[in-house]
């Protein structure tokens, strides 16, 4: 059978390429038995069918592309059955042997460098490896296949670190969560291309960049405040992951349960002037209504985790998944927060296709800790001027425009994604 012969040849070529790479790794402390396959399909293939030939699904990239792992460097069972499928049809059978599996497979291959380029890199003009300038410096997140074996994880990280060092770059940090294995590196474009070519690398993309809307309330001044009735000591404590908080603000007297920064060197003060407003909204609800009634009665206590600097940027040395996970765990463990708000959307990563690492981490923590997370849908910054120029008739159609799609981590399935229109709009 011609199709079967082609599949058998593709598998043999993959095994030979993998053997060549292994022969060049004589100085590694442990042997790496893994082979990572890109399987292009023409029909449905169940997980049981793949496990029957020694393959474990790592990722379903699209309706017709599955990435699978084998811990047999020779793909023994898979190759044997591919050859049987390509061979003569037994007289006792109507069709080829194992046709249920191989008949649904168009091809076997390895992931190419271009297969691993993330959406943000592509949106910035680097959709293919050839488009990446060798001399440019890139701060990137490298996602590695999580092979569920500590020795192999360490081996993969060491390979990335060595490759980065080879090109004069910096290996900044590593992170592992449930099903996530990431490295943050700074490297020249030439080194980035080499990383994209490594089989153990799953994805490479730019870091998250928080999306901040101007806060008109930040410059408001009130000469005299109504009396404040702070929440009781046993009131529910809401966690705020943002730009910090001005704990000495008179309207937050008796409200703030605690503050910290991730990383610690950020401190906890709200230099960006964003987190304080978010904290007040979470604690008070409508402040305008309370001022009108001449009493301030915040209902909830607040614990603040500052995760961005004065310019509104995450720390460059750690991945956002690492930073935000630490913040969530500390808010939950130290202050008992079971409701946590994150009003920081990532303008570099638009929801669509594969969920972000940030979103996957949030989903894992919601399940593990039994908490409620609210996340921002993102901001539209130019709409006031557009409505002034074009009229209110553009609502709501403008919300469907490509540039107004949701920002990550809004793909999180277990979080509450919040979008709204300002009262003035």
**pLDDT the model gives residue 425:** 42
Give this prediction's pTM.
0.90
- Where b means 16+ CB within 10 Å and e means fewer, 370-395 reads ebebebbbbbbeebeeeeeeeeeeee
**pLDDT the model gives residue 210:** 93
**pLDDT the model gives residue 1:** 60
Return the structure tokens found at 76: 């023994």
DSSP 8-state class, residue 193: H
The span from the CA of 348 to the CA of 286, in Å, is 31
Question: Judging by DSSP bridges, how do beta strands 256-261 and 301-306 pair with one another?
Answer: parallel
What's the CATH number for 114-206?
3.30.70.80
Return the structure tokens found at 406: 């949701």
Fold equal for 2-109 and 114-206: yes
Q: Where are the domains of the chain?
A: 2-109, 114-206, 211-418
Q: What angle do CA 32, 113, 61 make, to 5 degrees?
A: 85
**pLDDT the model gives residue 288:** 77
**pLDDT the model gives residue 423:** 57
DSSP 8-state class, residue 227: P
DSSP 8-state class, residue 89: P
Domain 2-109, what architecture? 2-Layer Sandwich (3.30)
Q: Confirm if 106 and 41 have CB atoms less than 8 A apart.
A: yes
**pLDDT the model gives residue 149:** 85
Beta bridge pairs of residue 37: 68
The span from the CA of 203 to the CA of 182, in Å, is 9
Computed on alpha carbons and rounded to an integer, the radius of gyration of the chain in Å comes to 26
**pLDDT the model gives residue 159:** 96
Identify the helix (H) or strand (E) that includes residue 187. Answer: strand 180-188
**pLDDT the model gives residue 295:** 83
**pLDDT the model gives residue 123:** 92
Beta bridge pairs of residue 304: 240, 259
pLDDT 10s digits, 277-326: 999 999 998 877 887 788 888 999 999 999 999 999 999 999 999 999 99
**pLDDT the model gives residue 296:** 87
pLDDT 10s digits, 389-402: 888 788 878 777 77
Residues of the chain with pLDDT under 70: 1, 214-224, 381-382, 421-425
Beta bridge pairs of residue 29: none
What's the CATH number for 211-418?
3.40.50.200
């Amino acid at each position: 059978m011609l199709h079967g012969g082609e599949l058998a040849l593709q598998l043999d070529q993959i095994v030979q390429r993998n053997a060549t790479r292994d022969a060049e790794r004589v100085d590694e402390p442990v042997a790496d038995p893994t082979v990572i396959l890109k399987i292009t399909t023409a029909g449905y293939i169940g997980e049981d069918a793949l496990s029957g030939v020694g393959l474990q699904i790592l990722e379903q990239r699209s309706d017709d592309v599955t990435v699978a792992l084998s811990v047999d460097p020779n793909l023994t069972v898979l190759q044997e059955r591919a050859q049987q499928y390509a061979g003569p049809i037994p007289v006792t059978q109507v069709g080829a042997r194992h046709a249920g599996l191989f008949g649904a497979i168009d091809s076997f291959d390895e992931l190419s460098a271009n297969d691993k380029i993330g959406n943000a890199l592509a949106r910035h003009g680097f959709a293919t490896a050839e488009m990446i300038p060798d001399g440019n410096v890139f701060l990137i997140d490298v996602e590695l296949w999580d092979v569920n074996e500590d020795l192999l994880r360490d081996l993969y990280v060491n390979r990335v670190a060595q490759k980065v060092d080879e090109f004069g770059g910096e290996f900044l940090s590593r992170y592992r969560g449930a099903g996530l294995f990431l490295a943050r590196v700074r490297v020249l474009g030439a080194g980035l291309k080499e990383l994209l070519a490594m089989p153990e690398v799953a994805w490479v993309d730019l870091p998250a960049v928080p999306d901040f809307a101007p806060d008109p309330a930040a410059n408001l001044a009130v000469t005299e405040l109504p009396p404040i009735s702070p929440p009781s000591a046993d009131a529910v404590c809401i966690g705020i992951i943002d730009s910090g908080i001005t704990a000495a603000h008179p309207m937050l007297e008796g409200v703030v349960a605690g503050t910290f920064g991730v990383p610690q060197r950020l401190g906890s003060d709200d230099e960006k002037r964003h987190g304080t407003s978010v904290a007040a909204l979470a604690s008070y609800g409508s402040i305008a209504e309370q001022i009108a009634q001449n009493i301030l009665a915040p209902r909830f206590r607040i614990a603040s985790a500052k995760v961005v600097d004065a310019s509104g940027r995450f720390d460059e040395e750690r991945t956002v998944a690492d930073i935000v996970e630490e913040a969530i765990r500390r808010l939950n463990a130290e202050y008992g927060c079971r409701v946590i708000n994150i009003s920081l959307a990532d303008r570099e990563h638009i929801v669509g296709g594969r969920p972000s690492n940030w979103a996957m981490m949030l989903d894992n923590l919601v399940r593990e800790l039994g908490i409620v997370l609210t996340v921002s849908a993102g901001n539209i910054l130019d709409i006031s001027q557009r409505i002034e120029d074009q009229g209110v008739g553009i609502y709501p159609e403008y919300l469907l425009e490509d540039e107004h799609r949701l920002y990550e981590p809004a793909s999180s399935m277990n979080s509450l994604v919040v979008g709204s229109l300002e009262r003035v709009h």
